[in-house]
Amino acid sequence: MGGEGLTLCRASFIKIEFNYKSSISISKWVEIIIMGYIDLHLHTTASDGVLSPSEVVRYAKAKGLQAIAITDHDTIEGLEEGLSEGQRIGFEVIPGIEISAEHSPGSMHILGYFLDIHHPFLNERLGYLQKARAERNPKIVQKLNQLGIDINFDEVLKASGGGQVGRPHFANVLLEKKVVRSFQEAFDRFLKKGAPAYVDKFRFTSKEALHFINEAKGVAVLAHPKTLGINGYSELEKLILQLVEEGLKGIEAYYPEHSSSEVAQYKTLADRYGLLMTGGTDYHGMEKNGLDIGVGRGEMKLPYSIVENLKAVRSRSLLGR
Ligand code: AMP
Ligand code: FE
Ligand code: FE
Ligand code: ZN
């Protein structure tokens, strides 16, 4: 994209949308004051978050948010608890999920909102992912043991607090045992892709993931496009076009790690392909340096109108348009 195009699209972005990572935007604040603010990307103990679903819901309400979506990795196990806590305390909770899809060189995550959590096909697909995860996890233990580290699966299970077991729980055990000095060191030395204790696990293709999200009446949104590992605009556009054909409805443009120019790029794509712009903090609990629910690292407040847009898209899809 040329310099002029970028200036133009950034200018219109500031005028039409609420401002993001910029000093003052009166319209943004008026909207947030009137309608409230939201967070559409959160993890709980059902996957690799620190707070239970009920705790996340109560925390969001106490912080003054208007609505949240719970989007655990590959599981909806926390949703029933989160939804009923929301009902109990009078707080809007959107049932969601974050599915890891096949992609390289980076990672592709697809969010699904307003899922029918009892949908049989969704539950069957997620059951398959659980099985793949259950097969992978002991292999990580084995690899760590081969590297001379004293660790067993029960310790990891305990660290997971009864929810789905993921690599962050391995990292926490390694930290507890003082094998590493930080959570990040555990990933860098042992657990990340290409590291000596990394074991790959099955992922659905984007087409498959988008299919079952749509079948379960969910609205599918590409999570944090930055992690796709795509640099050029045209390559990203090609992928977005493919995903739209496969059933994508939105882009998670607002995300703590996205720069203003990346947000502007996602807005250009969203406008061009009729996609929603959504956002969330990816809050996992207290462990992520200074990142909090609803605000990220302080720059993130997003208005409730994003939820209304999601609901409008869902209604349209249900009507078969
Ligand atoms: P799993 O689904 O069990 O493979 O674990 C994936 C989770 O591990 C992600 O959702 C992140 O929370 C975390 N994670 C993955 N890669 C890294 C990394 N390089 N550094 C820190 N955390 C990571
Ligand atoms: Fe995570
Ligand atoms: Fe993610
Ligand atoms: Zn996430």
pLDDT of residue 32: 79
Distance 168 CA to ligand 1 centre (A): 6
Ligand 1 atom 11, closest CA: 168
- Higher-confidence position of 24 and 245: 245
CB 285 within 8 A of CB 50: yes
Mean pLDDT confidence for 89-93: 98
Q: For the whole model, what pTM was predicted? A: 0.90
Q: Which residues pair with 250 in a beta bridge?
A: 221, 276
Pairing of strands 250-254, 37-39: unpaired
C-alpha torsion angle, residues 137, 139, 145, 149 (rounded to 10)? -30
pLDDT of residue 11: 33
Distance 127 CA to ligand 2 centre (A): 19
Best residue for ligand 1 mutational test, from 48, 100, 103, 199 (most atoms within 8 Å of Cβ): 48
For the CA of 166, the closest atom of ligand 1 is: 3
Q: Is the Cα dihedral 157, 159, 161, 166 positive or negative?
A: negative
Instruction: Classify 84 as helix, strand or coil.
Output: helix
pLDDT band at 289 (very low <50, low <70, confident <90, very high): low
pLDDT at 18 over 60: no
Cis omega before residue 105 (within 30°)?
A: yes
pLDDT of residue 300: 87
Q: Which residue has the tokens 């106490």?
A: 62
